Amino acid sequence: MSTFEIGTYAIAAMVVLIYLGLPIAIGMLLVSFCGVALIRNEAIAMRMIGAVANDSLREYLFAVVPLFVLMGLLVTVSGVGKDTFDVFEKLLKRVTAGLGVATVFANAVFASITGISVASATVFSRVAVPEMTRHGYQKKFATGVVAGSSVLGMMIPPSLLMIVYAVLAEESVGRMFLAGIGPGILLSVLFSATILLLAKTRKDFVFTQEAVSVHQEDLSPASVARKSVPILSLMLLVLGGLYGGFFNPTEAGAAGAFGALVIALVRRSLGRSTLWTLLVETGQITVSVLLLIMAATFFSRMLALSGVPRELADFFLSGPVGPYGFLLCYLLLIVALGCLIDSISIMLIMLPIALPVAEAAGFDLVWFGVLTVVSVEVGLLTPPFGLSVYTIKSAMNDPDLQVGDIFRGAFPFVIAMIVAVLLIIVFPPVATWLAYL
C-alpha cells in the first residue's frame, strides 16, 4: 500500500471505531499508531507517541484549560448567572419578548466569564426558563432560547474551543479570543432579532396566550448595581487584564479563577464538599481535553507522514472545486458531524486534515477558526446529539418536557447561526478586525 492509502484507511478506520462507540481519543491513538507503524515501523511509532505526549502536553499554555474551567464552575455555583439574568430582565422589561432578549444578553455576558456552553445551558435552564414560562412563554420556546443562546459560551472569550483551535493551528490564543468578540456580538444580535421576529409573526410559537399579568418584584437601581458588581469585576479582571497587556492567557485564567473563588466565598455558596466536587470535575474535564489534544497531535503527524493533507490540497485547489468549494464542504461536514459527536472531538478530528488545505488555499487561519467554532456550535442544537439540549433536559428534570420540544424551540437559532456563518464568510472583518488591531 502507498502511504496515501494507509492514511485514507486510517481515517476510515477511525470513523468506524467512533461509530462503534470507542472513545474518540483511544480511537485516534490506535489508528495513528497503526498508521505510523505501517508507514515506517513499530519502533518509530512507539518513539513518536512518546514524543507527542511530551511535546503536546508540556506547554505552559495548557495550564489555561483547568483555570478557565474552574472559573466557569465557580461562577456557576456562586449565583452570578441568576444575577446577570435579573439585571437584563430589569433593563428589558418593557421590550416585546423582553425576557427572551434578556436571556440572550445575559448568556452573552455570562459567556464572557465562563467559556463553556454547557455551564450556560445548566444555569439559565434553571433561572430563565421558569421565569419565562411564568410570564406566559411556551416552554419549548423558553428552552429553545436558552439552548440557542448557550452556544455563545464557546464563542465569546474566554472560550475553551478557541483555546483548542489556537493550539492546533499554532495561532495566538489572545488573537483568537479577540476574533471571537465580533462574531459573538453578531450572534447575540441575530438571536435577539430572531426572538423579536417570532414574537411578532408567530405569537403562538412564543406565547401561550396574548397577555399575561404576573406580579414581578421591581429591582431598585441599588439592587441592579449590587448584582452587576461581581459580573463587571470579573469581566474587567479577566478581559481587561488580558487585552490591556497585564496578563497572558494563562495568567488571566488564574486571576479569573481566583476572582470567582473570592465571589463564591463572599456569598457563602462554597462549602468544603462543593469545592472538592468542583476540583474533581475540573480535573476530569482537563484530563479529557488534554488527552484529546495529545491524540489529535499524533493523528496530525501520522497524516503528515501519509501525505493525505497534501493530496487533498491538490484535489481541492487544483480541480474545479476551488478554495470556497472546499470551505463549503468542510463546514457542511462539521455541521453533519455535530449531529453525532461533541464539539471538541469534531475539531480534533477535522483540523489536522483541514488546516493544511486551508493554509494552502490562502485562508486567514484566524477567520477560518471562527467559522469552524460557529459551525461546530451548531451541533449543540441539532439532533440526535445536541449536547446543550440534553443538558437542559437533565437540568430541568421535567417529565412533561420532551427532548423533541427543545429541539423544535432551538431550530430558529440554528437558522440564525447559519446566517451568521454566511455573513462572516462574506464580511471577514467581522472576525478579524479586532484580532489584527
pLDDT in tens, 173-207: 888 888 998 999 999 999 999 999 998 898 888 88
Looking at residue 251, its amino acid is E
- pLDDT for the residue 215: 45
Instruction: Inform me whether the pLDDT recorded for 210 exceeds 70.
Output: no
- pLDDT for the residue 213: 46
Average pLDDT over residues 49-66: 76
C-alpha to C-alpha distance for 175 and 181, rounded to whole angstroms:
10
Residue with cell 440557542: 148
CA angle 329, 335, 336 (to 5 degrees): 85
Task: Work out the pLDDT band at 285, boundaries 50, 70, 90.
Answer: confident
Instruction: Inform me whether the pLDDT recorded for 272 exceeds 60.
Output: yes
Average pLDDT over residues 73-99: 78
Between 96 and 67, the higher pLDDT residue? 67
- pLDDT for the residue 420: 94
Between 52 and 212, the higher pLDDT residue? 52
> Which residues span the domain enclosing 272?
3-433
- pLDDT for the residue 42: 87
Mean pLDDT for the chain?
A: 83
Average pLDDT over residues 149-154: 84
Task: Work out the pLDDT band at 217, boundaries 50, 70, 90.
Answer: low
Domains in the chain, number: 1
Instruction: Inform me whether the pLDDT recorded for 214 exceeds 50.
Output: no
Average pLDDT over residues 40-55: 86
Instruction: Inform me whether the pLDDT recorded for 73 exceeds 70.
Output: yes
Average pLDDT over residues 148-169: 84
C-alpha to C-alpha distance for 150 and 228, rounded to whole angstroms:
20
Query: Which residues on adjacent β-strands are paired with residue 137?
Result: 207
Do the Cβ atoms of 249 and 256 come closer than 8 Å?
Answer: no
Q: Is the dihedral of CA 97, 72, 394, 389 positive or negative?
A: positive
C-alpha to C-alpha distance for 396 and 155, rounded to whole angstroms:
24
- pLDDT for the residue 379: 80
Counts for the chain of helices (H) and strands (E), in that order: 22, 0
Average pLDDT over residues 304-308: 84
Average pLDDT over residues 105-111: 82
